[in-house]
Amino acid sequence: MHLGDTLSGASNQSSYSLAVVSQDDADAAAALPGRSLVYFSGTDVPTGYSDGVPYSQALANGWLLTDGSGHLMQNTGFGFYIGDVGSSGYQQAFVTNVLAFLSAHPGVKGVFIDDVLRDISPLAGGYPAKYPSQAAWAAAMLSFVQAVGPALRSQGYYVLLNADGFTSGDSNSNDGTLTVSWWQQLGPSVDGLMNENYQETSDGTNTLRSSGSATWMQNWDGWQRLIGTAQAMGKDFVGVTYGAPGDTSSMLYGRASFLLEWNGGGSSFIFNPTDNTDPWNTSWTVDIGQPAAAKQQVGSGWMRQYTGGVALVNPSPTSSQTFQLGGSYLTPSGATVTSVTLAPTTGLILHSAFPPP
């Protein structure tokens, strides 16, 4: 999968099962064999372009949220204004505008909706006067998804949300518990749910999560639940790991963790380079087929057999783990191995040395 506004810089485009692109790249992505989704955001209202509801339309209709002093609220990271996601008029305008865009770009399979947040306070620095608490905001955001998702899906379009349950001051944010709960509320209205910074911290350091719960940087087990949460509802999971272009450790750890839980369906893993360069790297794009067995715990690690290989993860923060593979496999460098030892917080994807006919 590829994510971002740099489709022209991505090689092997026909090999991706999913592409999330900017509106400018809609036609190019529509021509690809994989599922093509175009970026929108119901929460953010930029002034220079439309993420679903243009600034001029939102301003004219009173759909820009204000704080208790009457000042327009903004996304503190990007300066975008905050749309009134709980307004039925705003919701209908979003649907009308997005359907018009999709109709004008035939071949696009659907939309990616960003910033579907349980708590607006971390993004905007506080709560709007209209939705003065976390609970009030969450109810408004949920109503947006319940209105928009089915409306787009009824026209045959796929809807993927970037949905985060993080809530200020609530320790249940640390291990994915609130995101699991948030996804269970959102899931019936959409087709897929994205976990940004999958198995890494979202503080800008992209530190890989390990098992355990002693620190915020651990909780690998808790966040791993999101894959099963989505798939149990019949929805797709999409996990995004960020890292430097040559950071094969992050690539392998993220995709191998994903492969431990993948049901063989439409779920996807993304590695997105932090400098927006070409994400293709055979360390994480190697195809090992379909799941052939359930994951197995091996000491501090996990192993799962596939029809064309094996996925291995050692999420321990301190201990190495040796895996006896029960056959011959090829490492990313081409070496043949029958056992491997993984250092703490590492993953590996091995291709079968003798694949089945």
Is residue 195 in a domain?
Answer: yes
Tokens of 172: 């249940």
SS (H, E, C) 153-167: HCCCCEEEEEEECCC
Q: pLDDT at position 137, please?
A: 98
- pLDDT for residue 80: 97
Q: Could you tell me the CA-to-CA distances from 123 to 36, 126, 202 in Å, in that order?
A: 27, 8, 13
Enter the pTM of the model. Answer: 0.96
Residues 267-301: pLDDT tens digits? 999 999 998 889 999 989 999 999 999 999 999 99
Residue 3: predicted pLDDT: 56
**313 domain residue, yes or no:** no
Would residue 222 count as lying in a domain?
A: yes
Residue 283 lies in a domain: yes
- Domain presence at residue 164: yes
- Give phi and psi for 268, each to the nearest 5: -145, 155
Residue 276 counted as domain residue: yes
* Residue 88 burial (CB count, 10 A): 11
Whether 294 is covered by a domain: the verdict is: no
Range of the domain at 58: 2-288
- Tell me, yes or no, whether 295 lies in a domain: no
Burial class of residue 357, CB neighbours in 10 A (0-12, 13-18, 19+): exposed
Task: Report the CATH number that the domain containing residue 233 is assigned in CATH.
Answer: 3.20.20.80
Q: pLDDT above 90 covers what percent of the chain?
A: 91
All residue ranges of the chain with pLDDT < 70 are 1-6, 355-357
Count: domains in the chain: 1
Q: Provide the mean pLDDT of the chain.
A: 95
In this prediction, residue 4 carries a pLDDT of: 57
